[in-house]
Chain A
Amino acid sequence: MSTSLSTRPAGSNAAETGSRRGKRHYGTHIFLAVMAVIWLIPLLWTLFTALRPKADTDKYGYFSLQGSFSFDNFVQAWNQGGFSKYFWNSVLITVPSVILTLFLASLMAFAVSRFSWRFNVTLLIMFTAGNLLPPQVLAAPLFEMFKHIQLPYAFSDSGNLLNTYVSVIAVDTAFQIGFCTFVLSNYMKALSPDLTEAALVDGAGVWTQYWSIILPLCRPALAAMATLEVIFIYNDFFWPLLFIQSGDRLPLTTAINNLQGNFLSNYNLIAAGAMITAIPALLIYVALQRHFVAGLTLGSSKG
Chain B
Amino acid sequence: MSASTSAPATGTGVKTPVPGRRVRRLSGRDKLVLGIMVAVPTLIQLVLIWIPTLLSIGLSFTRWNGLDLSDIKPAGTANYEYVAQDYPPFWPAIQHNVLWLVFLAVIATPLGLLLAVLLDQQIRGSKIYQSVFFTPVMLSLALIGIIWQLFYNRDSGLLNFLLGTAGKPTAVDWFGDASVNIWAALFAATWRHAGYVMILYLAGLKGVDPALKEAAALDGANATQTFFRVVFPAMRPINIVIIVITLIESLRAFDIVYVINRGTNGLELISALVIQNLVGEGQVIGVGSALAVILLVISLVPITWYLSRAFKKGAEE
Binding site for B on A (CB under 8 A): 1-6, 8, 10-14, 16-17, 19-21, 25, 28-29, 31-32, 35-36, 39-43, 45-46, 49, 57, 62-63, 104-105, 107-108, 110-112, 115-118, 121, 123-130, 132-145, 148, 170-171, 173-175, 177-178, 181, 186-187, 189-190, 192-194, 197, 200, 205-207, 210, 221, 231, 234-238, 241-242, 253-254, 256-257, 259-260, 267, 270-271, 273-274, 277-278, 281-282, 284-285, 289, 292-294, 296-298, 300-303
Contacts and interface: CB of A to CB of B under 8 A. Distances in A.
B139 A142 contact: no
Given A115-B23, A132-B244, 16 more contacts: A17-B223, A29-B125, A41-B158, A57-B156, A104-B40, A128-B307, A129-B303, A136-B254, A137-B292, A140-B292, A186-B5, A189-B2, A190-B2, A192-B7, A205-B27, A282-B138
B2 to A, nearest CB: 5
A12 to B, nearest CB: 7
7 closest A-B pairs by beta carbon, nearest first, are A235-B140, A13-B222, A141-B55, A174-B48, A141-B52, A297-B203, A303-B237
Given A253-B140, A256-B143, A6 B14 contact: no
Contacts of A28: 118, 121, 123
Interface string B225-261: 0100000000001101100100010011011001100
Interface stretch (B74-82, B83-91, B102-110, B209-217): B209-217
A205 B33 contact: yes
Contacts of A297: 1, 199-200, 203
A125 B34 contact: no
B132 A118 contact: no
Interface in B143-187: 143, 146-151, 153, 156-158, 161, 166
Interface of B: 1-5, 7, 9-10, 12, 14-15, 17-23, 25-27, 29-30, 33-34, 37-38, 40-42, 44-45, 47-53, 55-56, 59, 66, 69, 115, 118-125, 128-129, 131-136, 138-143, 146-151, 153, 156-158, 161, 166, 191, 195-196, 199-200, 203, 206, 210, 213-214, 217-224, 226, 237-238, 240-241, 244, 248, 251-252, 254-255, 258-259, 270-271, 274-275, 278-279, 285, 288-289, 292-293, 295-296, 299, 302-303, 306-307, 309-311, 313-315
A171 B241 CA distance: 25
Contacts of B226: 17
Given A238-B254, A302-B237, A11 B303 contact: no
A206 B28 CA distance: 11
Contacts of B136: 39, 43
A178 to B, nearest CB: 7
A298 to B, nearest CB: 6
A225 B73 CA distance: 44
Contacts of A128: 307, 310
State the majority secondary structure of interface residues on A.
helix
B217 A124 contact: no
B18 A302 contact: no
A112 B214 CA distance: 41
Contact of A173 (B9, B44, B128): B44
Contact of B12 (A2, A62, A193): A193
Contacts of B122: 1-3, 20-21
A198 B19 CA distance: 20
A148 B278 CA distance: 16
A53 B151 CA distance: 18
B38 A123 contact: yes
